[in-house]
Amino acid sequence: QVVSRGSMVLFLLGACASIPEVKVNYRLQEESKALEGQKIYLDFRDTRKDRELLGPGAKEELGMFTGNFSFSVARPGERGFKIGPYDITGMLQEAFRRKLVHLGARVEPAPGPDVTEVRITLQEFKLDLADRRWIASMKLEGGVVQEGKVVSAQTIEGRSERVKILGTKGADEALGELFTDMINRLDVARLIRRAGER
């Protein structure tokens, strides 16, 4: 009986240890005052038609993946620090919030008369593994909202690939590169200027 219980404990520990951790390291762009003085309310929406995070190859490889990513943020020239596990939407919200603050904006918890509403819409996201290559892809739209309507917008699509080496390292690198490129490419300051020219 004692041996049986010990075996059960070992089995449970082994099962827990086998849950894969997929990491995303978002690297902030160079600090600037592009949004200094701006008060911004960030409205995040997820309109993906396909809510599956993983393609068939990644599903087979990652097995017990929970859907949460180990998210870290790095300032220019630094390695980064982990800020916690996030699902895909929470991770994008936090990344954009930190981007806006990094550029000098004050992120407000609610819309208001002197607050610019910026809407970020996640349209597509997928992580897959094919021919021993990790493939991460995403599509986002960023826009400024006035009176309930998007008045200036920018759509960005991206894809990053890395060779599968050991564990999830290639997936981590592909996702980190994709997130950094997509989030930093979205020019919020330009969107706000264009909205003000209407």
Burial of 1 (0-12, 13-18, 19+ CB in 10 A): exposed
Cα–Cα distance for residue pair 23/175, rounded to 1 Å: 8
Rounded to 5 degrees, what are φ and ψ at 11?
A: -65, -45
pLDDT value at residue 11: 39
For the domain with range 22-196, which CATH number is right: 3.40.50.300, 1.10.357.10, 3.40.50.10610, 2.40.110.10? 3.40.50.10610
pLDDT value at residue 61: 95
Cα–Cα distance for residue pair 132/162, rounded to 1 Å: 9
* The pLDDT of residue 195 is above 70: yes
Among 79, 114, 120, residue whose Cα is nearest residue 96: 120
pLDDT tens for residues 85-125? 999 999 999 999 999 999 999 999 999 989 999 999 999 99
Single-letter amino acid, residue 13: L
Q: The tokens of 190 are what?
A: 């330009």
pLDDT value at residue 2: 41
Domain-wise residue ranges, the chain? 22-196
pLDDT tens for residues 167-184? 899 999 999 999 999 999
Cα–Cα distance for residue pair 55/88, rounded to 1 Å: 15
pLDDT value at residue 31: 87
Rounded to 5 degrees, what are φ and ψ at 183?
A: -70, -40
* The pLDDT of residue 45 is above 60: yes
Single pTM value for the model: 0.88
Among 128, 146, 150, 149, residue whose Cα is nearest residue 137: 128
pLDDT value at residue 20: 81
CB-CB contact of 71 with 83 (8 Å): yes
**43 three-state secondary structure:** strand
Cα–Cα distance for residue pair 109/175, rounded to 1 Å: 28
